[in-house]
Chain A
Amino acid sequence: MSDVLEADLHPKTNDDVLAAVQWAAAEEMPLEIIGQGSKRALGRPTQTAHSLDMSGLSGVTLFEPEELVLSAKAGTPLSEIHALLDEHNQELQFEPVDLGTMLGGAAGYGTLGGLVSTNICGPRRLKSGSVRDHILGITAVSGRGEVFKSGGRVVKNVTGYDLAKGVTGAYGTLAVLTDIIVKVLPKSETEQTLALYGLSDAQASEAMALAMGSSAEVSGAAHLPTNLANSNATTLLRLEGFAPSVAYRIEALGKLLADFGTHERLDEQTSKAQWWAVRDCLPFAGENSPVWRISCTPSEGHRIVETIKASTSADAFYDWQGGLIWLQVNEGDAKADLVRSSVQVNGGGHATLIRADATTRQSVPVFQRQAAPLAALSKRYRENFDPNGILNPGRMVGA
């Protein structure tokens, strides 16, 4: 078998996956789980002799637009899913993020399994939740080499623990996903964005809070400071829905925010382009300095950035009303302690190192360390799926 062991594993069926994991479990042989490799630079690098290439386990197995449900093999390219949903004017409402360009690679890659395993969603988080809020069911092979499923194809389901959520965002460290059932939703008929100009980070925070607290049903609230906007700090407030509704709401929102200076209405096409850039973190594309993704209390976002900037040169912009900060450190190392302590003293949250070379991601905890009791619980949780630590070992260290 030695020549076989040198090779990567390329399962084509669920049984192949099961056989591969059972073999790895028996041999205590770590596996790196890979789809198209588009998110390989996320998380702590794993060092394994073998990889489990899931791209051969591909294809949509069920799509019922009227039932708002789609099921696909974990290795199915997202591009295929987007195209299919497009045909039916539907979408994954959590706005899958494509970090390819920002990470220095190509855009347009990634599989459903990778998307679920990283749980990184876009601007609509504020209104529609994250990836985990749209995963209805999964089938997977645990690190023990056992097939298990959780959830189902219906939205309303409280039968047993929700292990579909339980494996979402686990970076493949608990189980190898083989099948994923996801909730799909109709696309909005149209969208417009109200853009405010020239606001400071603190003023933008106020404006976004006011907008989000109104009944305008804002589905995106972002702020780009001057140096990351074209010439003037830009605050974006997106409204989506049926045309008469969007027209009505943008009028009301403009009135509500009259005190925040001039504003402009961006039409559907301009709006889409702006939000695409925010979603995929394009302001930091084309560079290679460290980038952090910080999840924090929305109203505290600008204070966190202010605290960090007092000690080092950094650029930052805000999504999720300030609750998501994309921050690029401009000089020296990743400044993990500074970033994380700044979050800690401003309402809490956590910071994940998204862009950094492999050496940095080996030495700096990519994921924020948890308080001791939670860290111990997380460890026991992982060990109950993968006792020998054979699946993406170390990838999520810090969590």
Chain B
Amino acid sequence: MSGLLMPALDQDVLSRRAQIVSALQSIVPGEGVVSDENEMRVFESDGLTAYKALPFIVVLPETVAQVAEVMKYCGDNGIKVVPRGSGTSLSGGALPLEDAVLLVMSRFNRVLDIDYANRCAVVQPGVTNLGITHAVADEGFYYAPDPSSQIACSIGGNVAENSGGVHCLKYGLTANNVLGVEMVTIDGEIIRIGGKHLEAEGYDLLGVITGSEGLLGVVTEVTVRILQKPETARALLVGFPTSEDGGQCVADIISDGIIPGGMEMMDRPAIHAAEDFVHAGYPLDVEALLIVELDGPEAEVDYLIGRVEVIAKKNKSSTLRISSNEEERNAFWAGRKAAFPAVGRISPDYYCMDGTIPRKELPTVLARMRELSEQYNLRVANVFHAGDGNLHPLILYDANVPGELEKTEEFGADILRLCVEVGGVLTGEHGVGVEKRDLMPEMFTEDDLKQQQRVKCAFDPDQLLNPGKVFPQLHRCAELGRMHVHKGNVPFPDLPRF
């Protein structure tokens, strides 16, 4: 992706910049429009920092009416729009375009309604993920999906990316925890889908919008489910001599009917990096380290800890510790949570991948990855959401060595191809963005991708919203809408019939 091709710049739009700035200023007065190059610099990339582009103009609206007007103005005038929340995307979802208005939703930062009787909260999209939990914590509630960037990432961004987190094995992804949204389309229409009721009517557009990476509309309000905090949580820290043993232990826990709150695995390089960094007390002579967290009522947690312990021992665990208090539980997690910065310490740069595989393929995938690691002469450390098969290989490289970023990206692409080959997918939770855009054909046929793009045409017929993301090739909606009539060569008479 280093040679990333983005849609051709619209010279006409570029030539009208002064006029567009002034039109936008009349919609969002005060400091809501940023057009100074230096001031726009801060927005030039998101969490995928290898890619940068200066936005055309930055707009920070404050009201839904302003969002609708900005969108309508851009839609009417053929101006591209890139939506942005907190800018923590790891796949370049919020990467600016030089001819696109960057619509920053950070001023939408209010919690609008907390409804404990119905266990939901209505929030503006700029509220952070953790901000929702903080707003409801006094009553013992929390918002379950917990992406690792939860302190900074916005709920609007979570909807756009269908964010997951450590606890989504048991509690679901964003899509399973959002009840409704208000959204503005590129024609400036304000659309409400769902609400406090559990199911929206009609087609599941909420399901389509969630995870659509800012290509279908700009979310201006979100209704989320909140849950009562589990009474207690305890964790086991289990080491295994081989990744096969660790993988089998995970399978056996699930086969036993146990769905842990979290189940994380690390491979040897990740264990060592984490231990060197935070001294969590991780065993260093194991190939796989598993953290199993059980949450719920105390009686249940104590009971299940015992059951998981038996399963772990049956699977040849070489070390096993059980947390007896919060301090110990947090210590088990400390290394895992610091895994990324820990790897950052042992290498000038690292590149975080995000594929998902069927769990049983873990040993195969790790073995193949070791081969690739030797082939590319680049080290790799793995952290793994073991319960749901979401793998985060961290490729260690040095951006200052000419060609090493490109080599890293090729290695990463090979890993993702491997994930698809064994029955998995390109991205489990980070999104396609620009990062995996050109790998989409590894997983989808042309017809698969065309049908997805037709869905976009229903929302955004001129393809002005976040173009250049997700789809490797942009087809015009008119072209996509054309019916290819198969008349004449239909093998209809061959159909079995009665």
In the bound complex, residues from chain B placing their C-beta under 8 Å from that of A169 are 203-204
Given A10-B496, A154-B357, A374-B193, the answer on whether A159 and B208 have CB atoms closer than 8 Å is: no
In the bound complex, residues from chain B placing their C-beta under 8 Å from that of A165 are 175, 204, 207-208
B330 within 8 A of A: no
Q: Are A378 and B199 in contact (CB under 8 A)?
A: no
Q: Are B486 and A8 in contact (CB under 8 A)?
A: no
Q: Bin the interface of chain A by size.
A: 35 or more
In the bound complex, residues from chain A placing their C-beta under 8 Å from that of B202 are 367, 370, 374, 378, 396, 399
Q: Are A67 and B359 in contact (CB under 8 A)?
A: yes
In the bound complex, residues from chain A placing their C-beta under 8 Å from that of B483 are 25, 144, 387-388
Rounded to whole angstroms, the CA-CA distance of A159 and B297 in the bound complex is 35
Nearest-CB residue, chain B, relative to A350:
B201
Q: Are A133 and B176 in contact (CB under 8 A)?
A: yes
Given A19-B495, A68-B254, the answer on whether A370 and B486 have CB atoms closer than 8 Å is: no
Nearest-CB residue, chain A, relative to B443:
A159
In the bound complex, residues from chain B placing their C-beta under 8 Å from that of A65 are 255
In the bound complex, residues from chain A placing their C-beta under 8 Å from that of B370 are none
In the bound complex, residues from chain B placing their C-beta under 8 Å from that of A215 are 140, 228-231, 296-297
Nearest Cβ in chain A — how far from B114, in angstroms?
12
Q: Are A152 and B448 in contact (CB under 8 A)?
A: no
Given A245-B303, A347-B196, A396-B202, the answer on whether A161 and B211 have CB atoms closer than 8 Å is: yes
Q: Are A299 and B496 in contact (CB under 8 A)?
A: no
Q: Are A11 and B496 in contact (CB under 8 A)?
A: yes
Q: Are A187 and B211 in contact (CB under 8 A)?
A: no
Q: Are B204 and A146 in contact (CB under 8 A)?
A: no
A341 within 8 A of B: no
Nearest-CB residue, chain A, relative to B173:
A156
Q: Are A157 and B428 in contact (CB under 8 A)?
A: yes
Q: Are A296 and B197 in contact (CB under 8 A)?
A: yes
Contact code string B362-405 (vs A, CB < 8 Å = 1, else 0):
00000000000000000000000100111000000000000000
Partner pick for A377 among B117, B443, B459, CB 8 A cutoff:
B459
Partner pick for A241 among B300, B427, B447, B452, CB 8 A cutoff:
B300
Rounded to whole angstroms, the CA-CA distance of A371 and B190 in the bound complex is 10
Q: Are A162 and B494 in contact (CB under 8 A)?
A: no
Nearest Cβ in chain A — how far from B421, in angstroms?
12
Q: Are A19 and B494 in contact (CB under 8 A)?
A: yes
A4 within 8 A of B: yes
Given A349-B197, A370-B201, the answer on whether A217 and B455 have CB atoms closer than 8 Å is: no
In the bound complex, residues from chain B placing their C-beta under 8 Å from that of A166 are 203-205, 207-208, 455
A86 within 8 A of B: no
In the bound complex, residues from chain A placing their C-beta under 8 Å from that of B254 are 66, 68, 186
In the bound complex, residues from chain A placing their C-beta under 8 Å from that of B447 are 146-148
A87 within 8 A of B: no
Given A166-B455, A384-B481, the answer on whether A155 and B389 have CB atoms closer than 8 Å is: yes
Contact code string A178-192 (vs B, CB < 8 Å = 1, else 0):
000000011111000
Given A4-B493, A382-B203, the answer on whether A152 and B424 have CB atoms closer than 8 Å is: yes
Nearest-CB residue, chain A, relative to B164:
A156
Q: Are B358 and A64 in contact (CB under 8 A)?
A: yes
A92 within 8 A of B: no
Nearest Cβ in chain A — how far from B405, in angstroms?
23
Given A66-B255, A153-B423, A214-B228, the answer on whether A12 and B199 have CB atoms closer than 8 Å is: no
Nearest-CB residue, chain A, relative to B489:
A22
A40 within 8 A of B: no
Nearest Cβ in chain B — how far from A293, in angstroms?
10
In the bound complex, residues from chain B placing their C-beta under 8 Å from that of A209 are 116-118
Nearest Cβ in chain B — how far from A267, in angstroms?
19
Given A22-B490, A295-B198, A377-B459, the answer on whether A185 and B259 have CB atoms closer than 8 Å is: yes
Q: Are B299 and A156 in contact (CB under 8 A)?
A: no
Q: Are B197 and A25 in contact (CB under 8 A)?
A: no
Partner pick for A298 among B117, B141, B480, B498, CB 8 A cutoff:
B117
Contact code string A61-86 (vs B, CB < 8 Å = 1, else 0):
00011111100000000000000000
Rounded to whole angstroms, the CA-CA distance of A209 and B120 in the bound complex is 12
B491 within 8 A of A: yes
Rounded to whole angstroms, the CA-CA distance of A354 and B196 in the bound complex is 22
Nearest Cβ in chain B — how far from A398, in angstroms?
9
Nearest Cβ in chain B — how far from A176, in angstroms?
13
Q: Are A384 and B203 in contact (CB under 8 A)?
A: no
Which listed segment binds B: A102-110, A246-254, A258-266? A246-254
In the bound complex, residues from chain B placing their C-beta under 8 Å from that of A381 are 203, 205, 208, 455, 458
Q: Are A161 and B212 in contact (CB under 8 A)?
A: yes
Q: In A185-210, which residues have CB < 8 Å from any B CB? A: 185-189, 209
Nearest Cβ in chain B — how far from A341, in angstroms?
15
In the bound complex, residues from chain A placing their C-beta under 8 Å from that of B485 are 25-26
In the bound complex, residues from chain A placing their C-beta under 8 Å from that of B23 are none
Nearest Cβ in chain B — how far from A186, in angstroms?
4
Q: Are B299 and A248 in contact (CB under 8 A)?
A: yes
Nearest Cβ in chain A — how far from B252, in angstroms?
8
Q: Are B197 and A348 in contact (CB under 8 A)?
A: yes
A145 within 8 A of B: yes
Q: Are A383 and B458 in contact (CB under 8 A)?
A: yes
Q: In A107-157, which residues have CB < 8 Å from any B CB? A: 119, 125-126, 129-130, 132-133, 142, 144-150, 152-157
A170 within 8 A of B: yes
B337 within 8 A of A: no
In the bound complex, residues from chain B placing their C-beta under 8 Å from that of A399 are 201-203
Q: Are B297 and A186 in contact (CB under 8 A)?
A: no
Partner pick for A162 among B169, B175, B496, B497, CB 8 A cutoff:
B175
Nearest Cβ in chain A — how far from B156, in angstroms?
16
In the bound complex, residues from chain B placing their C-beta under 8 Å from that of A160 are 432, 440, 443-444, 448-449, 452, 470
Q: In B303-331, which residues have CB < 8 Å from any A CB? A: 303-304
Given A323-B198, A377-B458, the answer on whether A19 and B492 have CB atoms closer than 8 Å is: yes
Nearest-CB residue, chain A, relative to B471:
A160
Nearest-CB residue, chain A, relative to B494:
A19
Q: Are B492 and A4 in contact (CB under 8 A)?
A: yes
Contact code string B251-269 (vs A, CB < 8 Å = 1, else 0):
1101111110000000000
Task: List 11 extra interface pairs beyond A166-B455, A215-B140, A248-B298, CB under 8 A.
Answer: A10-B495, A25-B483, A67-B358, A156-B168, A185-B259, A245-B297, A295-B197, A298-B117, A377-B205, A385-B454, A396-B202
In order of increasing CB-CB distance, the 3 nearest A-B pairs are: A165-B207, A245-B300, A186-B257
A-B contact pairs, 29 of them (CB 8 A): A4-B495, A10-B497, A10-B498, A66-B252, A67-B359, A147-B447, A153-B423, A156-B388, A158-B431, A159-B427, A160-B440, A160-B470, A166-B208, A189-B257, A213-B141, A215-B140, A215-B230, A215-B297, A244-B303, A245-B299, A297-B118, A320-B198, A347-B196, A367-B201, A373-B189, A374-B192, A377-B185, A377-B459, A380-B458
Residues of B within 8 A of A (CB): 115-119, 140-141, 161-162, 164, 168-169, 172-173, 175-176, 185, 189-193, 195-205, 207-208, 210-212, 228-231, 251-252, 254-259, 296-300, 303-304, 356-360, 385, 388-390, 423-432, 436, 440, 443-445, 447-452, 454-459, 470, 480-481, 483-488, 490-498
